[in-house]
Amino acid sequence: MGAVVAENVRRSFDGREVLAGIDLTIGPGEFVALLGRSGSGKSTLLRAMAGLDSGYTGRLRVPGKRSVVFQEHRLLPWKRVLDNVTLGLRNATAQGRAALGEVGLAQHERAWPVTLSGGEAQRVALARALVREPDLLLLDEPFGALDALTRIRMHALLQELCGKHEPAVFLVTHDVDEAILLASRVLVLSANGRLALDLPVDLPAGRDRGTPGFAALRARLLTELGVSEEPAGVSVAR
Amino acid sequence: MALTQATGAAAPPLVDASAIHRPRTLLVKLPRPVRRAGGPLLLLLLWQLLGDGRILAPPSAVLAAGWELAETGELGVHLLASLTRVAQGLALGIAAGVLFAVLAGLFRSGEDLLDSSLQILRALPTLGLLPLVIIWFGVGELPKVALVAYGTMFPVYINTYAAIRGVDAKHVESGQTFGLGRAGLIRHVILPGAVPGFLVGLRFALTSSWLIMIIAEQLNATSGIGYLMNQAQSWYRTDIIVLGLLIYGVLGLGADVLVRFLERRLLTWRHGFGGA
Ligand SMILES: Nc1ncnc2c1ncn2[C@@H]1O[C@H](COP(=O)(O)OP(=O)(O)OP(=O)(O)O)[C@@H](O)[C@H]1O
Ligand SMILES: [Mg+2]
């Protein structure tokens, strides 16, 4: 039994079918990345998994303990950082503090969200997701709005935390490199609303863009996404 | 500098970056409350110089009248009467406004039932109801309290209702994904999110409460600041009339200070622009 089981999941908006029969199983602790062009329905699938949309048909089974991190941090501006992390939990102050410590923001627990930088706010959102010890962590372009340096740090942090808590992870991203770096399996959602590709990432842990096999996988995914390979020099190994 | 020489372009004149948005005023060193009082004080000075007892008594005469009335205890009685009415009316009006806003904001059936009716009633001028109110409630305290309550309910209702409906759906989703139930959503997301709108409504309510009270007390009362002013009119006592206006003004200012205080306390999370 997996952490996610989807069978023939379909979703239409105003008669237009965005998801046209998704079949997918994600195992416990598995890290899956979903790529797809803008508007292909990635967020739609993630929202269905999050329980935020009940308008789909088909079968979709997800664990009760789920957490979501979106591209925007979505912290409640009128609650201090720690209260945001423990939102909806009872007597969770100690766990909340521990989670903030894990993302390196222990000293910000009394801060208001507006005073945080983009990267800090996103780390709080990650702490808020992980303090619930989810069996399924849903990430919808969580690093999309961050600068490149912060994104690299967030990748490392996410890997560390996922190694520790071992939730199944479903990461929606635009960034092919990010998908290959983080996930153990990469899916591509095509414009016709089906999963066009489902590839394991058979690369060693601690891989980088120079790891043998990275470039080949990258090229394959880019082709599937309908983007021709960027000119050499942009993606060369260092 | 080296860069300028390298490109051969002339160096533009530079200004200190911190000076660009610094408010340029002579009074900048004074504390904020003092600066805010400066304008009114200047006005007062002018008036003292030009004031005339028959047309518009100068501030000194107004103060003398105030002192006289305070000594006899008359002023205290009237002030207390007015304050009590406004406070009672406001309390009722705010409570009703918030209650209706929450009902209409949170429940579809509440909206269907309440919103259109309230929007229609709002179109009636509150003070136009005065004759009816006197017929219904006579000349006691009730008509004045009822009128203030009625008039202040609408701004509170309209602004709070709009704020509840305007709470960001993303924040509501946030609450939902993290396990808040309906009651939790209302308590942690919707009501806190509506506080800024409520405060806007409160500000309007406080202003209109005094407006209503001034008229109501002048037409139909045996006590209160408005009554005092009406009596003074018969004796051509412009000093007492101005005193009454002054008291209304000071009370209005006090209400403003109260709302500012509430905003600072309740909206610390905003850290918005507070004015230069
Ligand atoms: N609530 C909605 N009502 C109507 N149409 C919607 C709704 N939500 C999504 N759609 C449509 O479904 C399609 C897929 O949207 P979705 O947000 O899932 O795309 P996405 O793959 O996440 O894109 P992006 O990468 O840009 O975030 C889009 O064409 C969008 O307009
Ligand atoms: Mg999306």
The answer to whether position A237 is within a domain reads no
pLDDT of B28 above 70: no
Chain-chain contact of B177 with A77 (C-beta, under 8 angstroms): no
pLDDT of B24 above 70: no
Residue nearest to atom 30 of ligand 1 (CA): A39
Q: In chain A, which residues have their Cβ closer than 8 Å to the Cβ of B184?
A: 88
* Chain B: closest CA distance from residue A77 (Å): 6
Domain interval for residue B245: 58-265
Candidates B170, B179, B269; nearest CB to A78: B269
Chain-chain contact of B175 with A87 (C-beta, under 8 angstroms): yes
Domain interval for residue A162: 4-224
Query: How are beta strands A136-140 and A168-172 bridged, if at all?
Result: parallel
B196 CB near a chain A CB, below 8 Å? Answer: no
The answer to whether position A167 is within a domain reads yes
Q: What pLDDT digit, counting tens, does each position of A39-97 carry? A: 899 999 999 999 999 899 999 999 988 999 998 999 999 999 999 999 988 889 999 99
B273 CB near a chain A CB, below 8 Å? Answer: no
The answer to whether position A52 is within a domain reads yes
pLDDT, position B40 = 85
Is there a contact between A156 and A189 (Cβ–Cβ < 8 Å)? no
CA separation for the pair B214, A231 (Å, rounded) = 78
The answer to whether position A236 is within a domain reads no
Nearest listed ligand to the Cα of residue A42:
1
The answer to whether position A104 is within a domain reads yes
Chain B residue with Cα closest to A85: B178
Residue nearest to atom 24 of ligand 1 (CA): A38
Q: Which residues of B205-221 are buried (b: 16+ CB within 10 A; e: fewer)?
A: bbbbbbebbbbbbbbbb
The answer to whether position B212 is within a domain reads yes
pLDDT confidence band for B148 (50 / 70 / 90):
very high
The answer to whether position A177 is within a domain reads yes
The answer to whether position B130 is within a domain reads yes
Q: In chain A, which residues have their Cβ closer than 8 Å to the Cβ of B176?
A: 51-52
Q: Which residues of A91-119 are buried (b: 16+ CB within 10 A; e: fewer)?
A: ebeebbbebbebbebeebbebbbeebeeb
The answer to whether position B66 is within a domain reads yes
pLDDT confidence band for B249 (50 / 70 / 90):
confident
Candidates A67, A114, A128; nearest CB to B269: A114
| Strands of A168-172's sheet in order across | A66-69, A136-140, A168-172, A31-36, A185-189, A195-200
**Could you write out the three-class secondary structure of chain A?**
CCCEEEEEEEEEECCEEEEEEEEEEECCCCEEEEEECCCCCHHHHHHHHHCCCCCCEEEEECCCCEEEECCCCCCCCCCCHHHHHCCCCCCCHHHHHHHHHHCCCHHHCCCCHHHCCHHHHHHHHHHHHHCCCCCEEEEECCCCCCCHHHHHHHHHHHHHHHHHHCCEEEEECCCHHHHHHHCCEEEEECCCCCEEEEEECCCCCCCCCCCCCHHHHHHHHHHHCCCCCCCCCCCCCC
Q: In chain A, which residues have their Cβ closer than 8 Å to the Cβ of B178?
A: 67, 87-88, 128, 132
Residues found in chain B: 276
Q: Tell me the pLDDT of chain B averaged across its residues.
A: 87
Chain-chain contact of A74 with B180 (C-beta, under 8 angstroms): no
pLDDT, position B6 = 62
CA of A43 to the centre of ligand 2 (A): 4
Nearest listed ligand to the Cα of residue A47:
1
The answer to whether position B13 is within a domain reads no
pLDDT, position A234 = 47
Q: What is the CATH number of the domain that holds A44?
A: 3.40.50.300
CA separation for the pair A118, A145 (Å, rounded) = 8
Query: Which pair of tokens denotes residue A81?
Result: 């950082």
Chain-chain contact of A50 with B177 (C-beta, under 8 angstroms): yes
Q: What is the CATH number of the domain that holds B231?
A: 1.10.3720.10
Chain-chain contact of B188 with A79 (C-beta, under 8 angstroms): yes
Q: How many domains does chain A have?
A: 1
Quick one: average pLDDT of B6-11? 76
Q: Which residues in A have their CB inside 8 Å of a CB on B?
A: 50-52, 66-68, 70, 72, 74-80, 87-89, 112-115, 128, 132
The answer to whether position B5 is within a domain reads no
Alpha helices by DSSP H, listed for B51-141, are: 59-72, 74-106, 108-122, 130-137
Q: What pLDDT digit, counting tens, does each position of B74-133 carry? A: 999 999 999 999 999 999 999 999 999 999 998 888 889 899 999 999 888 888 888 888
The answer to whether position B24 is within a domain reads no
Q: Tell me the pLDDT of chain A averaged across its residues.
A: 89
**pTM score:** 0.78
B134 versus A229: the higher-pLDDT residue is: B134
**A171: which strand partners?**
A33, A139
CB neighbours (10 Å) of residue B129? Answer: 18
The answer to whether position B187 is within a domain reads yes
Q: What pLDDT digit, counting tens, does each position of A200-219 carry? A: 988 888 888 888 888 999 99
